[in-house]
Amino acid sequence: MGILEKIDNSKLPIHIAIIMDGNGRWAKKRGFLRILGHENGVKSVRESCEACAELGVKFLTLYAFSTENWNRPKDEVNALMNLLVKTIKAETPTLLKNNIRLQTIGDFEKLPENCQIELKKIIKETEHNNRTTLVLALSYSSKWDIVNSVKKIAEKVKNNEISLDDINDEMINNSLTTGPFPHPELLIRTSGELRLSNFLLWELAYSEFYFTDTLWPDFRKNDLYKAILDYQNRERRFGKTSEQISN
Ligand code: IPE
Ligand code: IPE
Ligand code: MG
């Protein structure tokens, strides 16, 4: 029996988030420039999206560029932004064909103007697609999102639109750029690094983590299936006891 057949379709995560890491090391191992690693990561993005759409995973969030990544060498940042624009243009037909909706989280305004224009275009074109939502985290960091959210809420308190007691879990959820999406049940990080790197700190509060040594450009549908299978063998207790869960 293959891995795919072992997946229980009634226990799929609704939302999977992936920290796509290891592009640079993938390129370095081959004596290539780092950007070639990023370019080869595009196929892994396509495979992951397709696999989620085929399985019926409703949301896939991909960490594509962090707030901290702006501090990389200028050449690499420029190359990444160009690759983003090129990929969006090239992948639009695939998203439309597969009924995938594109959304973003993060500091959208910080992206170069041509990126913003292309992104807005494809977001609009795919807005009614409903098989799977692909959320790209661009110029994203969780601390940035949380600080922003606190400011929005504080502003409402200041203007007497809400009182302090109105602030709750739900309000915080809704004021984050991740607000429209459910929290991921499963987080995957490739390349063997065991950290969150400022990703979804609030949203991953009760998620299952899956780490693999596979470098992102080598990540294929089967790697995603393996992660899902591993997730399905976990017991999610949410603070309760194992007995309470199994009864
Ligand atoms: C992930 O790969 C892609 C981005 C962060 C944009 P890296 O570029 O971080 O690859 P490594 O970690 O240097 O191998
Ligand atoms: C995290 O990867 C950001 C993305 C995958 C976009 P990094 O490679 O930037 O993370 P650190 O800095 O090694 O933790
Ligand atoms: Mg990295």
Q: What is the DSSP string of 5-58?
A: HHS-GGG--SEEEEE---HHHHHHHTT--HHHHHHHHHHHHHHHHHHHHHHT--
**20-231 classified as CATH 3.10.20.30:** no
Rg over CA atoms, the chain = 19
| CA–CA gap between residue 149 and residue 16 (Å, rounded) | 23
Q: Does residue 20 line the site of ligand 1, with CB under 6 A? A: yes
Query: What is the best residue among 18, 19, 23 to mutate for testing ligand 1's pocket, by most ligand atoms within 8 Å of CB?
Result: 23
Q: What is the pLDDT of residues 74-123, one digit of tens each?
A: 999 999 999 999 999 999 999 999 999 999 999 999 999 999 999 999 99
Domain boundary assignment for the chain = 20-231
Strand partners, 63: 19, 137
pLDDT at 153: 98
Average pLDDT of the chain is 97
Mean pLDDT score, 133-145: 98
3-state class of 218 per DSSP?
A: helix
pLDDT at 106: 98
Q: In what order do the strands lie in the sheet with 15-19?
A: 100-105, 132-140, 59-66, 15-19, 186-189, 208-211
Residue 145 pLDDT class (50, 70, 90 cuts): very high
Query: What is the best residue among 18, 19, 20, 21 to mutate for testing ligand 1's pocket, by most ligand atoms within 8 Å of CB?
Result: 21
- Å from CA of 20 to ligand 3 middle: 8
Residue 1 pLDDT class (50, 70, 90 cuts): confident
Mean pLDDT score, 239-247: 95
3-state class of 140 per DSSP?
A: strand
Does the structure show a pLDDT above 90 at 192? yes
pLDDT at 2: 93
- Active site residue ranges: 21, 69
Token readout for 209 is: 């983590």
Q: Does residue 63 line the site of ligand 1, with CB under 6 A? A: no
3-state class of 178 per DSSP?
A: coil
pLDDT at 224: 98
Mean pLDDT score, 135-157: 98
Q: What is the pLDDT of residues 198-217, one digit of tens each?
A: 999 999 999 999 999 999 99
Q: Does residue 184 line the site of ligand 1, with CB under 6 A? A: no
Closest-CA residue, ligand 1 atom 3, reads 21
Q: Which ligand is nearest to the CA of 29?
A: 1
Query: What is the best residue among 191, 193, 196 to mutate for testing ligand 1's pocket, by most ligand atoms within 8 Å of CB?
Result: 191
Give 3-state DSSP helix, strand, coil % of the chain, rounded to 5: 50, 15, 35
CB 20, CB 41: distance < 8 Å: yes
Mean pLDDT score, 33-50: 97
Mean pLDDT score, 132-141: 98
Does the structure show a pLDDT above 90 at 247? no
Q: Which residues surround ligand 3, an ion (CB under 5 A)?
A: 21
Residue 223 pLDDT class (50, 70, 90 cuts): very high
Q: Which atom of ligand 1 is least distant from the CA of 25?
A: 14
- Å from CA of 218 to ligand 3 middle: 14
Residue 10 pLDDT class (50, 70, 90 cuts): very high
CB 177, CB 199: distance < 8 Å: no
Does the structure show a pLDDT above 90 at 170? yes
pLDDT at 114: 97
CB 138, CB 84: distance < 8 Å: yes
Closest-CA residue, ligand 2 atom 3, reads 66
Question: What sign does the dihedral 191-195-199-204 (CA atoms) show?
Answer: positive
- Å from CA of 72 to ligand 3 middle: 11
| CA–CA gap between residue 146 and residue 133 (Å, rounded) | 22
- Å from CA of 21 to ligand 1 middle: 5
Q: Which helix (H) or strand (E) holds 112?
A: none
| CA–CA gap between residue 194 and residue 191 (Å, rounded) | 9
